[in-house]
Amino acid sequence: MLKLSKKADYALVALSHLQATELPASAKEIADRYNLSAQMLANVLKTLTQSGLLASKRGAMGGYALGKRPEHIFLGEVIDAIDGRQSLSDCTSLDKRCSAETNCPAKSPILMIHKKIKQFIDSLTLADIANREILKGVSIDIPFSS
């Protein structure tokens, strides 16, 4: 649980790279650079483009560039685009529902915890991620304790 898919990993590598170099790059270039499966990365980048996170140019000398400014690319968006929006638990998504349903004592807490985590990853931008120094300073305050 709490695991990023490899595709999401690839997406972050590519986005970080594009953010750092500020130059367009082809899927192959990036794959070679970081020793990733070219075909798989190509699929990932294609998906990111469909979601508007990347801008693409076809043909010779084509490639990918960031589709928005790094400050406007949120980690949550990236994960949603690649893995599809998912809930922390099936019972916190509206369509599916677990058998316990109404009288379940865990449902509401799980939902709240899910919201907190989502809030967190939605608050992180590519710019934040790329800037390690800033990230180091982040602290999550949990103002209650048992």
Q: Which is nearer to DNA, 59 or 137 (CB)?
A: 59
CA distances (Å), origin 140, targets 10, 87, 116? 26, 21, 11
32 binds a second copy (CB under 8 A): no
Reported as type and span, the H/E element at residue 56 is strand 54-57
61 binds DNA (CB under 7 A): yes
Interface with a second copy: number of residues (CB under 8 A): 71
- Which residues neighbour 82 within 8 Å (Cβ) at sequence distance 6 or greater? 5, 7, 8, 11, 44, 47, 48
The length of the chain is 146
Q: Which does 133 bind (CB under 5 to 8 A by kind): a second copy, ligand FES, DNA, none?
A: none
- DSSP letters for 29-45: HHHHHHT--HHHHHHHH
8 binds a second copy (CB under 8 A): yes
Q: In angstroms, give the least distance from the CB of 32 to DNA.
A: 10
Three-class SS state of 57? strand
String marking each residue 68-87 x if it binds a second copy according to CB under 8 A? --xxx--x---x---x--xx
Q: In angstroms, give the least distance from the CB of 125 to DNA.
A: 23
Residue 44 token pair:
């990932």
Q: Which is nearer to DNA, 57 or 115 (CB)?
A: 57
- Looking at residues 92 to 131 of the shown chain, list those that interact with DNA (rule: CB under 7 A): none
Q: Are 76 and 118 in contact (CB under 8 A)?
A: yes
Q: Which span (19-27, 78-86, 97-105, 127-135) binds ligand FES, by CB under 6 A? A: 97-105
Where does this chain bind ligand FES (CB under 6 A)? 9, 13, 91, 98, 100-101, 104, 106-107
